[in-house]
Structure 1
Amino acid sequence: MTATTGTIDGTTLIAWGFQPGKWFGRALAEANRLRQAGADDDAIFIALQALQPVETLLRTNGLPYGVFLDAEGELERANLAAVTAHMDALMRVPTIVAGAVMPDACPSGTALGTIPVGGAVACEDAIHPGFHSADICCSVAITVFARKDDPRRILDAVQAVTHFGPGGRKAMIVPDFAPDIDATLQANPFLHGLGNIVTGHFGSQGDGNHFAYVGHLSSSGQPALVTHHGSRGLGAQLYKRGMAAARRHTQIVAPRVPAHNAWLQASSEEGQAYWQALQFARSWTKASHFAIHDLAARSLGNAVADRFWNEHNFVFRRDDGLYYHGKGATPSWAGFSPDDDGRTLIPLNMAEPILITAHRDRKQALGFAPHGAGRNLSRSAFLRQEKPGLPEGIDVRFYCGKADLSELPQAYKNAAAVRAQIDKYGLAEVIDEVIPYGSIMAGDWGQDAPWRKKRR
């Protein structure tokens, strides 16, 4: 070996018998850190042996997985074929030990092996940012009001205090869900520098299938507000940073694994930092939901009688030590989160009741239930084939003025069929419903975007 003084470089490592590769940068940093700390070459050599990667290969054949989706008709069969093609490829990823497909599953990307909406996988010592996607902690929250009220008045109040569409709020709300948010952001490499988004996007709902929905409980007639959104720009930036780190790691340990299936080693320092960042995003999103609800409640002068929430786009760690990733899948097991009270929400579409469910923990489904927003056609394909109309009998509003026709009920899977399959496969127990009065969605906010005006 070389002498125990001076800087260690790549030539030194090659002379010691190490194979050069993308891991050399990390190895050189560690080797020189150890040398400066006084370690001799033998100790450094042993430490680098532990760092040298052993390639983790894709499985030759994918693992079997549970399918809880019945297909009737040509469109549904084509959708199921696409979903299973993605899952067959996905289940070759070496970190995955089990998988399942929910009744509302549909593809969420074109690259083979992209986890579908309604897909769930359990992974060993691995967090896959691509399996929760950029809409981290997309979730549903309900507030039940103490006093009966005019539902139109409630919807008006919500419309006045929420924000849909790109960017954040004009009138910002300062988050107060954690004792020292700035210190948390500063200390975590995945959150550092995101303070403006944390504040600016708080209490906003984005676009797409996110909504504010007003109705009443079937059981008691009490009015209820349900909101649906994720962690907005915070989640998008966290996902971007997480994917970059995951790809760096996976290029070293499993370069043949597709980039969209990259992972962070959960037990590593970087993996733990990402896990903590996910928990921050979760707390932020929960607080963001209820900040909107509280503003509406104060405007109405109506007290809060009950509230709860649940995410359906997140990573969970169960007692078996595995990391359970749900992409558009609702957890349905006791203690899935610190604030679980045994109830979850499954929305279907704006014209249908939102289901309030109790847990069933179907093992073959990895303990998940659907989140209710699956499609048989992509947005663009739906609009090419259909000319949908606004549903009758409910108050439908689009925050940005123009209707987004790809979000109308006809764009989604048959609600009765999804609910029947929840019952058939024992994925959750429906214990109550929120009967719809009306809802607010972002609408087609891009219709008047500058590039579209120029083209016209």
Structure 2
Amino acid sequence: MNGHDLISAGFKPGKGFAQLLAVANDLEVAGYSPELIFEQLRLHVPVEPEPIVLRTNDIPFGDFLKDSVDPTNAYQVANYAQVVTHMDALMRVPTLKGGAIMPDACPSGSAIGTIPVGGVVAADNAIHPDMHSADVCCSMAITVFKRQDDPKKVLDVAQAITHFGPGKRAKSFVRQNKDLIQLIGTFADNSFLSGLEGKAEEHFMTQGDGNHFLYLGHLESTGQLAMVTHHGSRGLGAGLFKRGRQFAQKSLRGSRIPPHQAWIVADSKEGQDYWAALQKVRLWTKMNHFAIHNTVAQKIGNAVDQQFWNEHNFVFQRSDGLFYHGKGATPSFAGFSPDDSGLTLIPMNMAEPILICGHMNKPEALGFAPHGAGRNMSRTQYLREFEAVTPEHIDVRFYSGTPDLSEMPGAYKDAATVAAAVTRHGLGNVVDRVLPYGSIMGGEFRWKHRK
């Protein structure tokens, strides 16, 4: 028996072919018929795994953006078309079982099939780093103070103690927080967090740039002073995301899955480690929010009446076992986190009220609500084509000293339209609002100009 005989029987030349031929000849000498020889050889041929590929057709997703689009507004129409194009491609990923786009959705990235801001997907036994975003656990936190206070004085104090954008806090300063040090002490046991301890210390009690802010106002219902912060996990989360993405892409090397859609198998050792790392980064971010809030409360000598928070760039596992990835989408279902208060925060822009919503758990929205009022165009396009007007009826401040004009209210979708969509679609039950006094934002930093 020779190699041609094996090829005619369906065996492919390559690694191990010579060994198969040697076995065939031994069996032939032993008196086996060709049919029995080929049957035995097939038991020795390693089974090639089917290549992991995208679905040929997408699956349906909930669309809560379409009916908020003004057909006469070219920017809104273009924004909607891009969001739907990305979602159509995204819903071909084989791990995904459902998806939705929120009324504030906008594109995020040029690679087709990138999850939009305001996008939600449910994945089976998979965690997709790019689908919870690099700004891991970007979130909102609120403190309601017991007594009234001069809002200007409070904003002055907040501006003096907070820190936005690049730069670090002194380690001697943050190490006074014993809970922080205890949390960081657990990083060494996790391959995705080990080595990021320095980032966790240096970036504690700092906030981001761009659309991150510290917002001061009062509750519409009671008039109580309220402070809201918006930021993620800073350099710590960015480091975790980078490692998670690299592992996901490496593990799917050779597949036909685009790199930005790669995943970590959730029930693998690495998947369990990554999930545990996400929970630790979540704790860090919550700690970071309320360290800022409690320091302000201490400085102004005002007692805290209520505090709660919620993530909008994160992964949540629900009772059905699926992993729900929200990128710029706010959970609106009971028990989304161990410390779920039953309320979620939905900001719009620096000049508009922040919505406080009770959960609605809309099935078609996968139990999510918007995270704010997204953009209809890029920052560059907005600055090129529109006049950026700073609102005069609120106290607007920029940490860097230079206004970031791309963050003006006109850069965002109409707040009233998004808020109306939340109610119209039953995405959240608006129970109160924080009416604005003023905001501190990062502003323009030198590194942006260099870039």
- TM-score bracket, shorter-length normalisation: 0.7 to 0.9
Partner of 1:36: none
Q: Which amino acid aligns with 1:82?
A: Q
Distance in 2 of aligned mates of 1:330 and 1:376: 19
Distance in 2 of aligned mates of 1:179 and 1:16: 58
Distance in 2 of aligned mates of 1:204 and 1:188: 24
Q: Secondary structure at the match of 1:251?
A: coil
Once the two structures are TM-superposed, the CA of residue 183 in structure 1 deviates from its matched residue by 3.9
Once the two structures are TM-superposed, the CA of residue 14 in structure 1 deviates from its matched residue by 5.1
Counterparts of 1:270-309 in structure 2 under 5 Å? 270-309=270-309
Q: Which amino acid aligns with 1:369?
A: A
The answer to whether the Cα contact below 8 Å between 2:183 and 2:280 also exists between their aligned partners in 1 is no
Q: Secondary structure at the match of 1:419?
A: helix
Once the two structures are TM-superposed, the CA of residue 181 in structure 1 deviates from its matched residue by 2.9
The answer to whether the Cα contact below 8 Å between 1:102 and 1:370 also exists between their aligned partners in 2 is yes
Distance in 1 of aligned mates of 2:369 and 2:448: 38
Partner of 1:440: 440
Deviations 1:395-429 (A, max 9, x none): 00000000000001000100000001111110001
Distance in 1 of aligned mates of 2:198 and 2:158: 24
Q: Which amino acid aligns with 1:382?
A: Y
Q: Which amino acid aligns with 2:248?
A: A
Distance in 2 of aligned mates of 1:16 and 1:180: 57
Partner of 2:240: 238
The answer to whether the Cα contact below 8 Å between 1:374 and 1:412 also exists between their aligned partners in 2 is yes
Counterparts of 1:202-241 in structure 2 under 5 Å? 202-241=204-243
Deviations 1:31-66 (A, max 9, x none): xxxxxxxxxxxxxxx9xx89x754222100111111
Distance in 2 of aligned mates of 1:138 and 1:338: 17
Q: Which amino acid aligns with 1:60?
A: T
Q: Secondary structure at the match of 1:345?
A: strand
Once the two structures are TM-superposed, the CA of residue 153 in structure 1 deviates from its matched residue by 0.9
* 1:166 and 2:162 aligned: no
Partner of 1:332: 332
The answer to whether the Cα contact below 8 Å between 1:177 and 1:284 also exists between their aligned partners in 2 is no
Partner of 1:354: 354
Once the two structures are TM-superposed, the CA of residue 248 in structure 1 deviates from its matched residue by 1.1
Change (3 A) 1:17 1:125: farther
The answer to whether the Cα contact below 8 Å between 2:180 and 2:287 also exists between their aligned partners in 1 is no
Counterparts of 1:27-38 in structure 2 under 5 Å? none
* 1:58 and 2:59 aligned: no
Once the two structures are TM-superposed, the CA of residue 447 in structure 1 deviates from its matched residue by 6.8
Q: Secondary structure at the match of 1:196?
A: helix
Q: Secondary structure at the match of 2:418?
A: helix
Once the two structures are TM-superposed, the CA of residue 182 in structure 1 deviates from its matched residue by 4.3
Distance in 2 of aligned mates of 1:364 and 1:16: 53
Q: Which amino acid aligns with 2:174?
A: I
Once the two structures are TM-superposed, the CA of residue 371 in structure 1 deviates from its matched residue by 0.2
Q: Which amino acid aligns with 2:61?
A: Y
Change (3 A) 1:108 1:339: same
Partner of 1:114: 114
* 1:406 and 2:406 aligned: yes
Counterparts of 1:366-385 in structure 2 under 5 Å? 366-385=366-385
Q: Secondary structure at the match of 1:180?
A: helix
Deviations 1:138-185 (A, max 9, x none): 000000011100011111111111100113224742344367334421
Change (3 A) 1:431 1:444: same
Q: Which amino acid aligns with 1:71?
A: V
Distance in 2 of aligned mates of 1:219 and 1:58: 50
Partner of 1:311: 311
Change (3 A) 1:269 1:209: same
The answer to whether the Cα contact below 8 Å between 1:177 and 1:283 also exists between their aligned partners in 2 is no
Once the two structures are TM-superposed, the CA of residue 132 in structure 1 deviates from its matched residue by 1.0
Partner of 1:140: 140
Distance in 2 of aligned mates of 1:445 and 1:81: 33
The answer to whether the Cα contact below 8 Å between 1:146 and 1:302 also exists between their aligned partners in 2 is yes
How many residues end up aligned between the 2 structures?
A: 408
Distance in 2 of aligned mates of 1:68 and 1:16: 56
Partner of 2:430: 430
* 1:389 and 2:368 aligned: no
TM-score (norm 2): 0.87
Counterparts of 1:77-92 in structure 2 under 5 Å? 77-92=77-92
Partner of 1:268: 268
Q: Which amino acid aligns with 1:55?
A: P
* 1:321 and 2:321 aligned: yes
Identity of aligned residues (%): 57
Unmatched 5+ stretches in structure 2? 1-13, 20-42
Change (3 A) 1:63 1:154: same
Q: Secondary structure at the match of 1:60?
A: coil
Q: Which amino acid aligns with 1:146?
A: K
Unmatched 5+ stretches in structure 1? 1-12, 19-45
Q: Secondary structure at the match of 2:298?
A: helix
Q: Highest Rg: 1 or 2?
A: 2
Deviations 1:196-245 (A, max 9, x none): 11110011001010000000000111101100000000010000000000
Partner of 1:95: 95
TM-score (norm 1): 0.86
Change (3 A) 1:146 1:184: same
Q: Secondary structure at the match of 2:339?
A: coil
Q: Secondary structure at the match of 2:252?
A: helix
Change (3 A) 1:248 1:222: same
Distance in 2 of aligned mates of 1:373 and 1:282: 23
Partner of 2:40: none
Distance in 2 of aligned mates of 1:387 and 1:356: 31
